[in-house]
Amino acid sequence: MVQTLSRRNLLSLAAAAGMAPVLTGEARAATGLQFGPARAFSYEDLKAMARERAGKPYVAPPRPNPEIVARIDYDNHGKLRFNKDFALFGTGPGAYPVTFQHVGQYFPKTVRMHALANGQAREILYDNSYFTIQPDHPAAKLPAEPSAFAGLWLQEARSRDWKKDEPWATWLGASYFRAVGELGQVGLSARGIALSPGQGPGPEEFPDFVAFWVETAEKETDPVTLYALLDGPSLTGAYRFQCRRTSGVIMDIEATLNFRARVTQLGVAPLTSMYWYSETTTSRTTDWRPEVHDSDGLAIWTGAGERIWRPLNNPPRTMTSSFVDHGPRGFGLLQRDREFLHYLDGVKYEKRPSAWVEPLGDWGRGAVQIVELPTDDEIHDNIVAMWVPEEASAAGSSREYRYRLHWLADEPTPTPLARVVATRLGRGGQPGQPRPPGVRKFLIEFKGGPLANLPKGVIPEPVLSASRGSFGDYKYTEAVPNDVPGHWRTQFDLKVEGSDPVEMRCYLKVGDQVASETWLYQYHPQA
């Protein structure tokens, strides 16, 4: 228990996380890695260390020679290959080897790495011989101290050809991490925490995972357990990740946060993705591909049981939207469009994973919040989705959160209602007649659920609302003429003046019964 933690163990753990190691002279392990001395470690120890650190002024993680690291650009970083003969757990024990990543221009801060077994942790001591570094490469000139580790990979099981397979999860840069989905691709990222992303006026704060402790999984069905220490100017955190390799990846995450400063915009379980454009806009003057995005919508399962689909936007300016809730059942950034012909790209956008946050326990009052930033290219992650608690976090306070993060192709528990599969915009009015100014046509496609078994002649009814403007007389709902059961679309016109955003809402009903999830959309008239 934290109350009985000895001062000696706490100081030993702190030294292992943030100070130069004490070399023991012991021979290299069977994997070839070099280790520091063994120190007692538990999650309670880590939480106590994070709490003590929060009571002291913030000290940034060490940075190996900045001039040298600045020369390890994107191309040079790609040339740094970890030699998998040195992989932690590469020859056992356990099922999943672990490999490491090097600092570089975009990941300049040191991250301490530890192997954990039987309650004893040993730091993995950096040696540039772990990486394939050519003599003329900038990294060849880095000294052994401070460590030049920046992140880690979880490799596929040793029962497979794991040295050739891609890793299934990675932690790299600030508190970012990501995993592979069911379709064999990586895409969007998660973060340990987000602090006022996109809110301004100053730069966003990005706390770092400054140390990891890795405990192997004995069998492939067991979780790999990672412990992580988070540190930043405003808070510290102790994290436990229990990561299971399934058809995709499932992570059970526990986080204990300790606040150095008051935080008004705390982003819990944040997800970060890229959305450039989709079927809602035309790409003819932008790019040759029909759509470019890692995620196409935000899905929410509210505490009251409502299912919401909010298509993403590439807005003309930074926009923040909040969906107030109490005890949310889940939310996620999803990639629903799985048709190759909708992308035509060899990077396989149609196979990008969806990430779904399942809160464990009552998260209380707050809001699922989405921040959308404008972008003119696919290289920028411009979407953040997160849970924001209603109450600010006071300096000196602590909070705990538990949640399950699913990296899959879809939501782990999809709605039984019809789901939105496309949102299309066009000119308002009717063909063959003058198109009225300030009128936009919307077409929403729904598929599945109760729509798949409608009696002949029954037509679903759209229920519409908008924060401003008016709907025209033209409203039309029909089965999509593609002979796919349960595939329907509804069309309507919206007349609106000015350039302020319009918040729109639509769902289908059959009689008195709700037949679809709720479509929410933020329309920018001049975009």
Q: What is the pLDDT of residue 284?
A: 63
In a domain, 375, yes or no: no
Angle at the Cα of 183 from the Cα atoms of 522 and 83, rounded to 5 degrees: 115
Based on the structure, what is the number of domains in the chain?
A: 2
Q: Does residue 401 sit within a domain? A: no
Burial 433-464 (b: 16+ CB within 10 A, else e): eeeeeebbbbebbbbbbbbeebeeeeebebeb
Percentage above 70 pLDDT, the chain: 93
Q: What angle do CA 199, 200, 201 make, to 5 degrees?
A: 155
* pLDDT of 250 above 60: yes
**Per-residue CA distances from 91 to 159, 395, 513 (Å):** 11, 46, 58
Please give the pLDDT value at position 29.
39
Establish if 291 belongs to a structural domain: no
Query: What is the spatial distance between Cα 336 and Cα 350, in angstroms, rounded to a whole number?
Result: 8
Q: What pLDDT does residue 143 have? A: 84
| Domain finish residue from 167, 198, 225 | 225
451 CB-near residues (< 8 Å, 6+ apart): 418, 460, 486, 487, 488, 508, 515, 516
What confidence score (pLDDT) does residue 341 get?
96
Residue 26 clears pLDDT 90, i.e. is over it: no
Asked if residue 3 belongs to a domain, the reply is: yes
Per-chain mean pLDDT for the chain: 92
Q: How confident is the model at residue 436 (pLDDT cuts 50, 70, 90)?
A: confident
Dihedrals φ, ψ of 129, to 5°?
-70, -10
Orientation of helix 7-18 relative to helix 43-54, angle to 10°: 80
pTM of the model: 0.93
Residue 203 has pLDDT above 50, yes or no: yes
352-408: pLDDT as tens digits: 999 999 999 999 999 999 999 999 999 999 999 999 999 999 999 999 999 999 999
Place of tokens 């069911």: 182
pLDDT digit string, tens, across residues 54-113: 999 999 999 999 999 999 999 999 999 999 999 999 998 999 999 999 999 999 999 999
| 113-129 pLDDT per residue, tens | 999 999 999 999 999 99
Answer whether residue 84 is part of any domain: yes
**Does 506 map to a domain?**
yes
Q: What is the mean pLDDT of residues 230-237?
A: 98
pLDDT classification of 282: cutoffs 50, 70, 90? low
Residue 45's φ and ψ, nearest 5 degrees, are -60, -45
The CATH number for 127's domain is 2.70.98.10
Give the pLDDT score at 15.
42
Peptide bond preceding 146: is omega within 30 degrees of 0, i.e. cis? yes
pLDDT at 283: 60
Find all residues with CB under 8 Å of 267, minimum gap 6, and list them.
Answer: 191, 193, 194, 195, 196, 197, 369, 384, 386, 387, 388
> Which of 190, 225, 260 marks a domain boundary?
225
Asked whether residue 10 carries a pLDDT value surpassing 80, the answer given is no
Going by their DSSP bridges, the two strands 354-359 and 398-408 should be labelled as antiparallel
14 pLDDT higher than 90: no
Can you give the three-state secondary structure of 63-98, one letter per residue? CCCHHHHHCCCHHHHHCCEECHHHCECECECCCCCE
Provide the domain limits for residue 24.
Answer: 1-181+206-225
Q: For 493, what's the count of Cα atoms within 13 Å in the CB-facing half-sphere?
A: 14
Task: Give 195's strand partners.
Answer: 205, 266
List strand residue ranges (DSSP E) for 218-340, in order: 224-231, 235-245, 249-259, 266-273, 275-277, 292-293, 297-301, 307-311, 319-326, 330-334
pLDDT for the residue numbered 201: 72
Residue 147 and residue 128 in contact, taking contact as beta carbons nearer than 8 Å: no
Chain segment 482-499, per-residue pLDDT in tens: 999 999 999 999 999 999
- 78 within domain boundaries: yes
pLDDT of amino acid 18: 42
Whichever domain contains 452, its CATH number is 2.60.40.10
Phi and psi at residue 49, to the nearest 5°: -65, -40
191 lies in some domain: no
Tokens, residue 485 = 């059961």
Q: For 162, which DSSP code?
A: T
Question: Residue 278 and residue 288: Cα distance in Å, rounded?
Answer: 12
CB hemisphere CA count around 483 (13 angstroms) = 0
The residue behind tokens 């029962």 is 159
Whether residue 468 has pLDDT greater than 70: yes
Let me know how many helices (H) and strands (E) the chain has, helices first: 4, 34
